[in-house]
Amino acid sequence: MRILGISAFYHDSAAALLIDGKPVAAAQEERFTRVKHDSRFPEHAIRYCLHEAGLTLDDLDHIAFFEKPLLKFERLLETYLANAPAGYRSFKMALPVWLKEKLFQKMGIVKALEPLSHSGKSIEEKLLFAEHHQSHAASAFYPSPFEEAVVLTLDGVGEWATTSVAIGRGSTLEPVREIHWPHSLGLLYSAFTYYTGFKVNSGEYKVMGLAPYGEPRFKDLILNHIVDLREDGSFWLDQKYFNYATGLTMTSRAFHDLFGGPPRKPEARLTQREMDLAASVQLVTEEIMLRITRDLATTYNIPNLCMAGGVALNCVANGKIQRDRHFKRIWVQPAAGDAGGALGAAYAAHALHCGRPRYLNGGLDGMQGSYLGPAHSQSEIEGRLTGAGARFTVHHEADMIERTVDALEAGHAIGWFQGRMEFGPRALGARSILGDPRNPEMQKNLNLKIKYRESFRPFAPSVLAEDAADYFELDAASPYMLLVADVIESRRRPMTASEKELFGIDKLNVPRSDIPAVTHVDYSARVQTVHQETNPRYHALISAFKARTGCPIVVNTSFNVRGEPIVQTPEDAFRCFMGCEMETLVIGNCILDKRDQDPKLKVDYKDKFELD
């Protein structure tokens, strides 16, 4: 059974290919077009998936889309009618787009796929539509390592659902609970993202990273005025504080009056107020998620939890759920956002529409480390780098790894481009920028000189799975960087009295542990456990670094600069390398030193940053 899954037309469009229940290829469109969060039809991602499997569109049994456009249009109309005459400006802008494009999405998808068909066979007959939350839930349960699990989906909104629960058993997935629009945990978080001056649908990570710098002094204000939260985690949002249902912004004047002023302008100086707002909404989000998961564990008495949807990327909350122990094990889809809906739609078609059995991967999950994107052979890498004007040396693998360790020890920021590209928003050691976690200047340098982004943003440690417990309060695997854990007490550096008095961003430059570059100001870390089974070369590099230094960890951040998607090709990597102050680039067995490059090939990124 060969099934292509597609997500598109909102943000983070993607394609995924499932063969007999096993994912063989998946990628976001943005990696090919170089347009961040590209929402257009994922033609390039589809072509990649088909090429990877040696198939044409005619070889497919089904093509599954990740949501039902007509149900979404129904929600749009009902919302505007219920709120009329309020929201007329928004309605006037939205309706022509729906009437021209989205309402007839099925025909648009068929037309977009026609150039990929050689036989002229009916594409329409193969086309299936899953519901949005069904796609998310399927993406979480079917590749998980569990035979039975509670499946929790939390996001902004699908057709109507904003929060949903299903029970997965074998190949079945039965929905049991839903919270409907406009009451949405994802949109609550996005409202605070907007209000604190960051871009909705991409700046939520920043709010999460900013939260430890603040005090949650607005928590009670949120819970007393905005959110009616019940003991089982169900919630209701007072819509007078929001403008997302029928307006052109996220928050209303009542929201601004409640929190003492208008939204922060993007790029304006961050103040303690924004930090406290971030801390407050993060704590409220955690409280809601903990109440939901505690009630689900008690109600269904199933030891396993699967999660998907954009809110499931909140790794701080995930870490607290994991430590809460109401569920023995949790598994979060690494592409938990809308991109993962492409994979989920394919899974839903395979298991629920076709009634086919799940693909089980022994004790491992079915995502293969999420390394489902394009790879490049060594000869192709060398040819493409030569074509780009790069100057490089080629080494055997063992020598390449030792030279990379040399560069890490020298304090270099290293572009690391190896094997198949990751599917999902996290770089997991295939398209990563690496550094020495022991270097107290590394976090600041990576943010300001390499990534060109806000100085407060934390970085993740990639740690050998077998050594994780020696550094972090973590007793579960975290291969997808979706669990936050604290650095263990013995690794922490005691704070002086004056350091304890610091507030806000002043906390940033105080080393917190013997791995300061990956220890956030609250002693936490967004951990990636690295496993030899799924990424042997990355595991070998960190093992060599450990053998040399005693430290089984490297700093890992995504291989891109602010405003650009993660790199996909060797040319993308070389361009990024030449546009920032990265000293070393390692692509396959090729090593590039910045000092050896032609200065005429330098790239200037400074005027090209997306204000996100």
Question: Which residues on adjacent β-strands are paired with residue 228?
Answer: 236
What pLDDT does residue 245 have?
A: 82
pLDDT at position 336: 97
Angle at 208 between CA 205 and CA 211, to 5 degrees: 145
Long-range contacts of 121-129 (CB under 8 A, 24+ apart): 121/58, 123/57, 123/63, 126/60, 126/61, 126/62, 126/63, 127/62, 127/63, 127/64, 127/65, 128/62, 128/63, 128/64, 128/65, 128/345, 128/349, 128/353, 129/64, 129/65, 129/67, 129/68, 129/69
Q: What is the pLDDT of residue 396?
A: 97
Residue 596: how many other CB atoms lie within 10 Å: 11
Q: What is the pLDDT of residue 453?
A: 76
Token pair belonging to 216? 């949650």
How far is the C-alpha of 408 from the C-alpha of 82, rounded, in Å?
59
* Domain coordinates in residue numbering, the chain: 2-143+333-366, 185-331, 378-601
At 558, phi and psi to the nearest 5? -65, 145
CATH class name, domain 378-601? alpha beta
| Calpha distance 496→511 (Å, rounded) | 11
Query: Can you read off the two tokens belonging to residue 282?
Result: 């993060």
Q: Are 89 and 30 in contact (CB under 8 A)?
A: no
Task: Note whether 2-143+333-366 and 378-601 share their fold.
Answer: no
β-bridge partners, 167: 150, 174
> Tokens 């569920």 map to which residue?
327
Residue-level pLDDT at 246? 77
Residues in Cβ contact with 554 at an 8 Å cutoff, skipping those fewer than 6 apart = 408, 434, 435, 436, 437, 461, 462, 541, 542, 545
pTM above 0.85, yes or no: yes
Tokens 């299936």 belong to which residue? 128
What is the C-alpha to C-alpha distance for residues 128 and 64, in angstroms, rounded to an integer? 5
Residue 339, both tokens: 């991109």
Q: What is the pLDDT of residues 127-174, one digit of tens each?
A: 999 999 999 999 999 999 999 999 999 999 998 999 999 999 999 999
Residue 609 has what pLDDT?
46
Sequence-ordered strand ranges (E) for 366-411: 393-394
The CATH code of domain 2-143+333-366 reads 3.30.420.40
pLDDT for 287: 98
Q: What's the CATH code, domain 185-331?
A: 3.30.420.40
Averaged over successive runs of 10 residues, the pLDDT of the chain (612 residues) comes to 96 96 98 96 98 95 92 70 62 61 76 85 90 98 97 94 97 97 96 96 93 96 98 97 87 96 92 96 98 98 98 97 97 97 98 93 90 98 98 98 98 97 97 96 85 82 97 96 97 86 77 93 96 97 98 97 95 96 97 96 68 39
